[in-house]
């Protein structure tokens, strides 16, 4: 059989999981109780397949370094890691078309693509492997294969796939159905012919492109044009291709279901029972963990008095709860969510309102991830700002200069190599340096443990855009909105 | 008529108003929507009386500086400010006995005491003044006068006073009644003879002491013994008397109601309608402010979706609320309360559990008040701690030394005078200094605006008890548990 190229497609803001999921750290990066992110779990699922030598990831370009962080610890099999970096989200059809074109170019026309969302949970790996085996056989025979999850309740929040004529290892798809009402969902459950659409696919790259050319030619043509304008670069671990922004913005914004699956006659479904969840809401997430005798699920320091059926996730702050029932409480350093357990789908309305207001809490967490590590604003006041900066071993901030602010740096853990004006020196734990406004400076972690530093900024203007970059090992633009 | 000495008695932890009310910053210091604390409102009520030249305050000794902070801005009439400083709470009978003995000694046997709780709200000052006029006349005639609030609903959370025989300006008290059940409270409301016990009193000091000697002699004797061992000091604005700890601990822990009022035949009540509230819970507090069209009362940045009847107080963090009803949400930098609006009396159980666990969040806020200003722990980690320190103009930290930690100080606002080992120098905004472990050091604000400083501590041990004090302008012990 031809090569299998798993393709993780990470799109969507995961607004129903605000305040943990935010634009700059969306749902795939959410960590579950075991400390692994959904993206890492997807990676492990892929790494657990035989005969897989590469992984293609389609993700927003701002999330590349964060994604590599998540993959790094898990890539013992040294999968080749290819990336298609989206300048913006254009839904799944353009992402999958780009993935298919990439695979045809690098791995051959007959290579098979296994498309996996980055933010779903699959608990039964053996069933997953078995389902893929059946899907590959069907894909080899020219089918566009979807995976249909056996329903265990009358869910109104998913789309359904209706089984048609039986095939070897699956079924022809009779129809796709949008999210049904409850009566319809109950009839589907009773009838046994309808499966949940899990958004996972398996097909030969050439078949996908041929069908897509027939049913949604603008998508393929738009993506081809975009790829012609994009410059792939051979990175340390694989090809990184940043998609050209102007042309990608012109590709139709459309889902693969709507563009192709609902139109093509070549679509099959493999029914399966994978322990699957799309973790579409806080309520769905809480269902993954057992509750105590009062129906509560608690993470963090909590004092409860007469509390039942509550999910409280507060890793850093004390919560006192009194006389409440069936709430979902999610605490983060800068924002708190309190929702009725029956209404957690509506959390998206809070996130949408924040987006409308252009509020930082839609986009960023208080701890912001950069290619070199993280920074956290501890406090801001008139003419000063205090940050905690963590630089990973071997990493380096750009050589830079600020016009309007000076900075005090104090090393609290690890060792820093500092360029400060004309001087270049080591700064050990509990040592400090002062960087006047206008001085060129650079911060490097030459050690083997994380460097943690407190930066106290002082000046008349402390905006992140007061930065002049001279040199950046991550290839970032000479002047950027980003910090450091 | 004889002199009137108002006496503010501030006791009790206000545990039902956790997390804002805590042991080191209890309910009297809570600020209402107008920015004034309950203590300040009580002070203003006193300052609004004619013919008052002094104010006696009975309060825990740890709260002296905090109380002076609250009084300072309001004392335009230059009331003489006497303090009896309790080493621990022993309920109201010992506090009032000490107040009466203090008044007899300093203002004469016939002086009248007006005892006011520090944490109640009275919105009708004119009615308050009128009620005091009637009370003073009765007190002059030898009555122990209580104030009985006309009930406007069948409240089960208060004690009641039953009116007896009519007197000039009030009534003899027929009986005191403990918190009734709802049916009894409804009967009281209908009958029109029962009033709420507001915990306010007016009496001649000598009468109080004579009655107390008859009905609770151990209280008077214990307090007399304690005062004999206590050394009053003439402060800038009045007498400050720190009560002797060992002897005060032996005084019976008993309320004035139970020790005297329920036993004496000389008790009268002045019925009144003062716009009174004891603000006994978050629910009582929220009733002071109008709600919006959805019944919500909001302080802070909040995004609501389908929310009704909620009180949300979150001055510093964003709150998203979805589909919730009738909740009280109170957010502070280190602790969050979520309570059903019908259960806010039970908030005390959370505070009690924190006390049992010896949890910091029972006692302290993240911002801690010291005689010289405040400090806030911004972050703690292995071998480092970051504090924001605010020193008020003219104030000074003690000359001190730490064995195990060094400190970086960076001035972000104002000017500091620093003693660092042998050196004594000014540190201006955006300048820093390093204080090695073992160095004597002192921090003074010589300027006229607040000094704000960031302190980064580093060392193997960062406990607040690693402090050796050499000199302290606030008379604190050479070695103390307190910071700086």
Would you put residue A294 in left (φ > 0), alpha (ψ -120 to 50) or beta? alpha
* CA dist B390 → A35, B361, B451 (Å): 39, 21, 6
pLDDT digits (tens, 9 = 90+) for B416-438: 999 999 999 999 988 999 999 99
Nearest chain A residue to B360 by CA: give it.
A318
Per-residue buried b or exposed e for A98-117, using 16+ beta carbons within 10 Å of the residue's own CB: bbbbbbbebbeeebbbbbbb
Q: How far lies B279's CA from each of B15, B275, B290, B346, B472, in Å?
A: 12, 12, 16, 14, 38
Of B407, B390, B397, B394, nearest to B453 by C-alpha is B390
pLDDT digits (tens, 9 = 90+) for A321-375: 999 999 999 999 999 999 999 999 999 999 999 999 999 999 999 998 888 999 9
Residue position matching structure tokens 């002199």? B3
* Chain B residues with CB-CB distance to A15 below 8 A: none
Contacts of B374 in chain A (CB under 8 A): none
pLDDT for res A172? 97
Q: What confidence tier does B477 reach under pLDDT thresholds 50, 70, 90?
A: low
- The answer to whether B270 touches B146, Cβ cutoff 8 Å, is yes
The separation between CA B366 and the C-alpha centre of its own chain, rounded to angstroms, equals 18
Q: Which of B306, B335, B359 sits opposite A346 (nearest CB)?
A: B306
Nearest to B268 by CA among B126, B96, B111, B134: B134
CB atoms inside a 10 Å sphere around CB A218: 15
Q: What is the chain B residue with the closest CA to A412?
A: B384
Task: Please give the order of strands across the beta sheet that includes A423-427.
Answer: A423-427, A416-420, A441-444, A399-401, A468-471
Pick from B298, B322, B450 the residue to mutate for testing the A interface (most A CBs within 10 Å): B322
Of the partner residues A303, A347, A459, the one whose CB lies closest to the CB of residue B350: A303
Contact A324 B329 (CB under 8 A): no
> What pLDDT does residue A126 have?
97
Whole-number Å distance between alpha carbons of B38 and A47: 63
The Cα angle at residue B189 between residues B186 and B194, in degrees rounded to 5: 120
Q: Judge: B413–A378 Cβ closer than 8 Å, yes or no.
A: no
* CB atoms near residue A300 (< 10 Å): 14
Name the CATH topology of B367-471: Jelly Rolls (2.60.120)
Query: What number is the ipTM of this complex?
Result: 0.89
**DSSP characters for A97-116?**
HHHHHHHHHHH-TTPEEEEE
Contact B413 A340 (CB under 8 A): no
- Contact between chains at B339 and A322 (C-beta distance less than 8 A): yes
Amino acid B231: pLDDT: 85
What pLDDT is stored for residue B479 in this prediction? 45
Q: Which of B320, B327, B344 sits opposite A350 (nearest CB)?
A: B320
Distance CA A308, CA A331 (A): 18
Contacting residues of B for A388, CB less than 8 Å apart? 379, 386
Contact residues for A77 (Cβ-Cβ < 8 A; gap 6+): A47
The pair of three-digit structure tokens given for residue A410, joined into one six-digit string: 């104090």
- Chain B CB contacts of A454 under 8 Å are 384, 386, 454, 456
Euclidean distance between CA atoms B41 and B71, whole angstroms = 10
pLDDT at A39: 97
| Number of residues assigned to chain A | 484
Q: Are residues B323 and A343 in contact, defined by beta-carbon separation less than 8 angstroms?
A: yes
Tokens 């972690």 found at: A445
Which residues from chain A sit within 8 angstroms of residue B456, using beta carbons? 410, 412, 454
Quick one: pLDDT at residue A480? 43
Contact B454 A386 (CB under 8 A): yes
For B303, the closest chain A residue by CA position comes to A350
pLDDT at position B228, please? 96
DSSP H or E stretch at residue A123: none
Shortest CB distance from B339 goes to which of A323, A346, A383?
A: A323
pLDDT for residue A478 = 52
Residue B81, pLDDT > 90, answer: yes
Cross-chain Cβ contact A412/B458 below 8 Å: yes
The beta-carbon neighbor of B323 closest among A346, A353, A361 is A346
Q: What is the DSSP string of B99-139?
A: HHHHHHHHH-TTPEEEEEETT-EE--HHHHHHHHHHHHHHH
Contacts of B359 in chain A (CB under 8 A): 318
Helix (H) or strand (E) holding B29: none
Chain-chain contact of B412 with A329 (C-beta, under 8 angstroms): no
Confidence of residue B480 (pLDDT cuts 50, 70, 90): very low
Gap from B428 CA to chain A (nearest CA, Å): 12
Chain A residues with CB under 8 Å of B351 CB are 320
Q: Residue ranges of the domains in chain A?
A: 4-277, 291-356, 367-471
Q: Specify the DSSP class assigned to residue A244.
A: P
Average pLDDT estimate for B54-75 = 93
How many angstroms away from the CA of B319 is the closest CA of chain A? 5
- Please compute the mean of the pLDDT values over residues B308-322 and round it to a whole number: 96
Q: From B385, which residue of chain A is nearest by alpha-carbon distance?
A: A412
CA–CA gap between residue A296 and residue A304 (Å, rounded): 10
Contact B321 A337 (CB under 8 A): yes
Report residues of chain A scoring pLDDT below 50.
Answer: 479-483
- Phi then psi dihedrals of residue A226, to 5 deg: -65, -45
pLDDT at B196 over 70: yes
Contacts of A458 in chain B (CB under 8 A): 410, 412, 429-430
Report strand pairing: A399-401 vs A468-471: antiparallel
Instruction: State how far the Cα of B452 lies from the Cα of A170, in Å rounded to an integer.
Output: 70
The pLDDT tens digits of the residues spanning B269-285 come to 999 999 999 999 999 99
Q: How far is B381 from chain A (nearest CA, A)?
A: 9
DSSP labels for A43-59? HHHHHTSTT--EEEEEE
Q: Does position B474 have pLDDT exceeding 80, yes or no?
A: no
Record: contact B413-A384, CB cut-off 8 A: yes
> For the residues B319-328, what does the mean pLDDT come to?
98
Per-residue pLDDT tens over the stretch A433-476: 999 999 999 999 999 999 999 999 988 888 888 888 887 777 76
Task: Give φ, ψ of B403 to 5 degrees.
Answer: -80, -35
CATH of range A4-277; options 3.90.550.10, 2.40.30.20, 3.30.365.10, 1.10.4160.10: 3.90.550.10
pLDDT tens digits for B202-219? 999 999 999 999 999 999
Chain A: residue nearest B335 by CA? Answer: A318
* Number of inter-chain CB pairs under 8 A, A vs B: 187
Which residues are paired to A432 by β-bridges? Answer: A410
Are the CB atoms for A266 and A280 separated by under 8 Å?
A: no
- Quick check: helix, strand or coil at residue B404? coil
A331: closest CA of chain B, how far (Å):
9
With CB atoms and an 8 Å threshold, state whether B337 touches A321: yes
How much is the pLDDT for A479? 45
To the nearest whole angstrom, how far is the Cα of B174 from the nearest Cα of chain A? 38
- For residues B230-252, give the mean pLDDT: 92
Alpha-carbon distance B268 to nearest alpha carbon in chain A (angstroms): 40
Which tokens sit at B403?
């064995």
Residue B29 has pLDDT above 60, yes or no: yes
The predicted pLDDT at position B237 comes to 85
Task: Note whether B11 and B92 are within 8 A (CB).
Answer: yes
Nearest CB among B317, B408, B434 relative to A335 is that of B317
Polymer length in residues for chain B: 484
Interface test with B, best of A310, A312, A320, A390 (most B CBs within 10 A): A320
> Which chain B residues contact residue A320 at CB under 8 A?
18-19, 335-339, 347, 350-351, 354
Q: What is the pLDDT of residue B380?
A: 85
Question: Which residues make Cβ contacts (< 8 Å) with residue B11, sequence separation at least 6?
Answer: B58, B59, B60, B86, B89, B91, B92, B95
State the pLDDT at residue B51. 87
């Amino acid at each position: 059989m031809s090569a299998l190229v798993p393709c993780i497609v990470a799109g969507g803001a995961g607004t129903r999981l605000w305040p943990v999921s935010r634009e700059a750290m969306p749902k795939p990066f959410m960590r579950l109780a075991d400390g692994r992110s959904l993206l890492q779990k997807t990676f492990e699922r892929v790494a657990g397949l035989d005969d897989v030598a590469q992984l293609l990831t389609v993700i927003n370009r701002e999330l590349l370094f964060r994604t590599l962080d998540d993959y790094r610890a898990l890539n013992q099999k040294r999968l080749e890691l290819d990336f298609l970096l989206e300048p913006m989200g254009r839904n799944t059809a353009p992402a999958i078309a780009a993935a298919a074109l990439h695979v045809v170019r690098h791995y051959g026309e007959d290579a098979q693509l296994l498309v996996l969302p980055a933010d779903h949970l699959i608990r039964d790996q053996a069933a997953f492997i078995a389902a893929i085996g059946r899907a590959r056989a069907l894909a080899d025979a020219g089918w566009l294969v979807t995976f249909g999850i056996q329903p265990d309740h009358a869910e109104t929040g998913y789309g359904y796939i209706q089984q048609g004529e039986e095939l070897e290892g699956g079924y022809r798809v009779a129809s796709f159905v949008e999210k049904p009402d409850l009566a319809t969902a109950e009839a589907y459950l009773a009838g046994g012919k309808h499966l949940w659409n899990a958004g996972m696919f398996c097909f030969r790259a050439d078949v996908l492109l041929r069908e897509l050319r027939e049913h949604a030619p603008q998508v393929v043509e738009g993506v081809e044009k975009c790829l012609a304008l994009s410059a792939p670069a051979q990175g340390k671990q694989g090809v990184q291709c940043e998609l050209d922004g102007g042309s990608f913005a012109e590709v139709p914004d459309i889902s693969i279901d709507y563009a192709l699956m609902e139109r093509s006659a070549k679509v099959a479904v493999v029914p399966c029972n994978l322990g699957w969840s799309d973790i579409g809401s806080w309520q769905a997430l809480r269902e993954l963990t057992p509750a105590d005798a009062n129906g509560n699920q608690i993470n963090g320091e909590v004092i409860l008095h007469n509390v039942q059926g509550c999910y409280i996730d507060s890793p850093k702050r004390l919560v006192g709860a009194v006389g409440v029932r069936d709430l979902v409480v999610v605490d983060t350093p800068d924002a708190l969510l309190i929702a009725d357990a029956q209404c957690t789908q509506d959390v998206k309305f809070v996130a949408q309102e924040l987006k409308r207001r252009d509020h930082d809490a839609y986009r960023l967490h208080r701890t912001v991830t950069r290619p070199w590590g993280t920074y956290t604003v501890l406090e801001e006041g008139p003419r000063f700002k205090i940050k905690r900066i963590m630089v990973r071993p071997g990493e380096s901030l750009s050589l830079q200069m600020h016009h309007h602010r000076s900075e005090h740096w104090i090393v609290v853990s690890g060792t820093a190599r500092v360029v400060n004006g004309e001087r270049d020196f080591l700064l050990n734990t509990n040592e400090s340096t002062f960087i006047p406004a206008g001085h060129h400076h650079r911060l490097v972690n030459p050690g083997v443990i994380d460097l943690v530093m407190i930066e106290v900024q002082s000046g008349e203007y402390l905006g992140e855009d007061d930065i002049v970059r001279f040199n950046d090992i991550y290839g970032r633009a000479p002047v950027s909105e980003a910090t450091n």
